[in-house]
Amino acid sequence: MAATRLYLDWNGTAPLHQAARDAMLHALDLYGNPNSVHGEGRAARAAIEAARRQVASLTGAEPAHVVFTSGATEAANMVLTPEFRMGRTPLTIGHLYTSAIEHPAVLEGGRFPKEKISEIPVTSDGIVDLVVLETMLSAHDKASGLPMVAIMLANNETGILQPVYEAAKIAQAFGGVFVVDAVQAAGRVPLDIKAIGADFLIISSHKIGGPKGAGALVSRGEMLMPKPLIHGGGQEKGHRSGTENALAVIGFGAAAAAAVAEFDSRNAAVEKLRDRLEEGMRLAAPDVIIHGKDGPRVPNTSFFTLPGLKSETGQIAFDLEGLAISAGSACSSGKVGESHVLAAMGRDPKLGALRISLGFTTTEEDVDRAIDAFARIAGRRKTAGAAA
Dist. CA 381–CA 376, nearest whole Å: 9
Dist. CA 125–CA 229, nearest whole Å: 35
Whether the pLDDT of residue 386 is over 50: the answer is no
Whether the pLDDT of residue 385 is over 60: the answer is no
Per-residue model confidence as pLDDT tens digits over 86-120:
999 999 999 999 999 999 999 999 999 999 999 99
Identify the pLDDT of residue 288.
96
| 50 among known catalytic residues | no
Whether the pLDDT of residue 328 is over 70: the answer is no
Identify the pLDDT of residue 346.
85
Instruction: Find the helix or strand (DSSP H, E) in which 225 lies.
Output: strand 224-226
> What values do phi and psi take at 85, rounded to 5?
-145, 145
Dist. CA 228–CA 88, nearest whole Å: 13
Q: Using DSSP, state whether 374 is helix, strand or coil.
A: helix
Whether the pLDDT of residue 387 is over 50: the answer is no
Mean pLDDT of the chain: 94
The mean pLDDT of 263-291, rounded to a whole number, is 96
Identify the pLDDT of residue 91.
97
Whether the pLDDT of residue 388 is over 70: the answer is no
Choice among 61, 177, 331, 373 that is catalytic: 331
Identify the pLDDT of residue 351.
78
Whether the pLDDT of residue 384 is over 90: the answer is no
Dist. CA 151–CA 117, nearest whole Å: 13
The mean pLDDT of 228-233, rounded to a whole number, is 96
Identify the pLDDT of residue 333.
43
Domains (ranges, CATH) in the chain? 6-15+263-387 (3.90.1150.10), 20-261 (3.40.640.10)
- First vs last C-alpha separation in the chain: 34
Tell me the C-alpha to C-alpha distance, in Å, between residue 71 and each of 94, 213, 361. 26, 5, 24
Instruction: Please report, as a single letter, which amino acid is at residue 125.
Output: D
Provide the whole-model pTM. Answer: 0.94
Per-residue model confidence as pLDDT tens digits over 67-80:
999 999 999 999 99
What is the DSSP pairing of strand 177-181 with strand 146-152? parallel
